[in-house]
Structure 1
Amino acid sequence: MKITICQLSDNEIEFAEDWELLKTHISQNNSDLLLLPEMPFCKWVASTKNVNEAAKLDSVQKHEQWISAVEELGVQYVVYSRPVMESDHYFNTAFVYVKGIGHQKIHTKAFFPEEPHFWEESWYSRETNPSFEIVDLGNLKIGVLLCTEMWFTEYARKYGKQGIDLLLCPRATEESSINQWIRCGQTLAVISGAYCLSSNKAGIGDNHFAWGGTSFIAGPMTGDLLGTTTDDEKFVTREIDLSKSREAKTDYPLYVKE
């Protein structure tokens, strides 16, 4: 199976340029699964603590406008998150697009930071009963942790116990914290016994904020890095062996009883 990670600019003009390059990369590499960053299709709205209802609506509309572009990539599976408005609630929700079938909700983000440039607790709502269930795609089982959720490692273990092949982690993280996010992803690959993929926002955001890019793939059992993106190589595709993630479920620490 071929999997692709990417880093995409938070600047909407540069994002459109990145997207054209991504289309070429996908076509040349015949990817089976693509992971996009957290809320990729508009600039980061939670950079200010002042919640703006017009900005919420604009972010929803921009993501809806890009849905057809996701489908046109021709990839079997595309995992991403997007804002969803329900009544007076504003959610950050993960979806998987399955070619020929459509877009399926995975789960809504449940844990939020509240600090400069990441005022997510102020902006977003939580579902009453957050769900961390796997998505069974027939020949592939996936689980998603959205950015901050990666640090709640009990869910990675839960996913592993449910037999996931891929742990997919869209994120929006800054340049200064890149190393700790990579280490976290490597640990999650061991805990879940699955390939851990994470795609991140990149470039310069509001108030000259430096996004981190550096998306990565970590292997099951060992957590070894199998690929990372850079500003010069924004897209990385690797061929993986799903049998390795399935073997990992019988190895340490997955076999340890609760």
Structure 2
Amino acid sequence: MSRILKVAAAQLGPVHLDTPRAETVVRLIRLLKSAARQGATLVVFPELAFTTFFARHLFDEPTRLEAFFEHDKDISRSSPTKALFEEAQRLGVDICVGYAEKTPEGRAFNSAIYYSAKQDRVMAKYRKVHIPGTREPLPDKAAVNHLEKRYFEPGDLGFQAFRAPGKRQNADGAGDPILGMLICNDRRWPEAWRCYGLQGVEVILCGYNTPAYNPHFWGTSKAMSPEIAKSTAIAQHKLVMQANSYMNSCFSIAAGKAGLEDGQYELIGGSCIVGPEGQILAEAATTDDEVICAEIDLDECRQGKEHIFNFAQHRRVETYRRVVDQVGVTQPDS
């Protein structure tokens, strides 16, 4: 018997600097309801889903910055975010959602949680590991800043896979789906995917906010039109989702923010659901609020895991020390 799930990526259109959190939550609930009507039992929302991508701004007033963070230890129980989780529980739909986390000790993380509707609780938390950008604003006044290093610490929870409770589809002991979470820039780092792959991951859940045009952030000196820059960013986004899904024999669900925030900061959209052979199963067609769904058979992960990417048979860990021992590039002498 197949292990079939209906899953969804809930893409979110522009969220502006002054958009009230409660207004955004209403939009998220609307997307959740749409996914549920289409039969989805698992929905992935974007990175920093409740606010704009505030890391592009420099905040001189601490209270202004703090307003973008969730300070409660359990956001599934705090106002106004709890309304999203209450609706998920009512609909019987699990959700993965990204947010800015401020711990009781004052530490700041770019985080995501997995909420189980069946158990009415947060089952897993992930904190973004690969923090891009800079700590200080760029000297070029025309540049769009990307100050994630200023506002967030690197995640300290690692890449811990987990099972989604209550989603077993057969009675032969196959078990509940094995899931893992990534956030935005993490999807570009194959080490993160492989850590999950070595735990038998079957579905990667990834929220993101990716700029359509930001040459200072990318570090490119090549002249590039905004149109070409956007198409390149979308192509690179799909590339990493497809390649890493294939190389780890897993499905992936990528949900992004999209459109023009505050009239000048464009995000790419491109939300997609990818299969274990690297094929795109569903893809967003707009740069606004949109739900995409796909029916996935988790047994399709077995072909790759048991054959071409059978890690137990084919990995040669004795040759990989450089990957974990070395940080920067060391070129050969000759």
Whether these two folds match at TM > 0.5 is yes
- Quote the residue 2:99 is aligned against: 82
Relative to structure 1, the CA distance from residue 181 to residue 103 in structure 2 (aligned partners, 3 Å threshold; closer, same or farther) is: same
Equivalent residue for 2:196, pick from 159, 163, 166: 159
* 1:10 aligns to 2:6 (yes or no): no
2:149 maps to a residue whose letter is E
Alpha carbons of 1:37 and 1:52: their partners in 2 closer, same or farther (altered >3 Å)? Answer: farther
Provide the secondary structure at the position in 2 that maps to 1:69. Answer: helix
Deviations 1:35-81 (A, max 9, x none): 00001111111012446532442123497422322330324310112
Question: 2:84 is matched with which residue?
Answer: 69
Pick from 6, 23, 48: which aligns with 2:57? 48
Please name the residue that 2:122 is paired with.
103
Q: By how many angstroms is 1:9 displaced?
A: 2.0
Q: 1:105 to 1:229 in 2, by over 3 A?
A: same
Letter in 1 for 2:12: L
Matched, 1:126 2:154: yes
Write the letter of the residue equivalent to 1:192. N
C-alpha separation in 1, matches of 2:271 and 2:66? 28
What amino acid sits opposite 1:77 in the alignment?
A: D
Please give the secondary structure, in 1, of the residue aligned with 2:10.
strand
Task: Write out per-residue CA displacement over residues 114-152 of structure 1, whole angstroms, 9 at most, x where no aligned residue.
Answer: 15342101111235x441110122411101111111111
Q: Deviations over 1:155-212 (max 9, x none)?
A: 2112112111101111111232111111110011012210011000012113611111
Query: Where does residue 183 of structure 1 map in the other structure?
Result: 239
Change (3 A) 1:21 1:191: same
TM-score (norm. length: structure 1): 0.89
- CA RMSD between the two structures: 2.3
Contact 2:40/2:293, CA 8 A, preserved across alignment? yes
Secondary structure at 2:306 match in 1: coil
Of the three residues 79, 84, 91, the one matched with 2:109 is: 91
Contact 1:9 1:15 in 2 (8 A): no
Structure 1: runs of 5 or more not aligned: none
1:214 offset after TM fit, Å?
Answer: 1.3
Q: Which moved more, 1:130-139 or 1:192-201?
A: 130-139
1:57 to 62, 66, 81: 66
> What's the counterpart of residue 28 of structure 1?
37
AA aligned to 1:7 is Q
Q: 1:149 aligns with which of 186, 189, 211?
A: 186
Distance 2:246 2:62 in 1: 41
Using the aligned pairs only, state the percent identity: 21
Contact persistence 2:178–2:203 (CA under 8 A): yes
Would the aligned equivalents of 2:204 and 2:252 in 1 still touch at CA under 8 Å?
yes
- Aligned equivalent of 2:210, options 173, 196, 211: 173
Ranges of 4+ aligned residues in structure 1 off by more than 3 Å: 12-21, 49-52, 61-64
Other structure's SS at 1:211 match: strand
C-alpha distance in 2, partners of 1:155/1:148?
10
State the number of aligned residues: 256
Q: 1:248: Cα distance to partner?
A: 2.4
> Whole-Å Cα distance in 2 between the matches of residues 90 and 141 of structure 1?
28
CA distance in 1, matches of 2:207, 2:39: 21
Partner of 2:96: helix, strand, or coil? strand
Q: Give 1:129-140 correspondences, 5 Å limit.
A: 129-138=156-165, 139-140=176-177
**Does the aligned pair in 2 maintain the 1:163–1:246 contact within 8 Å?**
no
Please tell me whether the aligned partners of residues 92 and 108 of structure 1 are also in contact (alpha carbons under 8 angstroms): yes
Q: Distance in 1 between matches of 2:83 and 2:188?
A: 32
- Measure the CA separation in 1 of the matches of 2:113 and 2:66: 19
**What amino acid sits opposite 1:85 in the alignment?**
K
Q: Structure 2 regions of 5+ residues with no counterpart? A: 135-143, 166-175, 213-229, 318-334
Contact 2:162 2:178 in 1 (8 A): yes
Larger radius of gyration: 2
Secondary structure at 1:185 match in 2: helix
| TM-score, normalised by the number of residues in structure 2 | 0.70
Label 1:178 to 1:17 Cα distance change in 2 as closer, same or farther (>3 A).
farther
Q: Where do residues 186-205 of structure 1 align in structure 2 (5 Å cutoff)?
A: 186-205=242-261
Contact 1:6–1:229 (Cα < 8 Å) also in 2: no
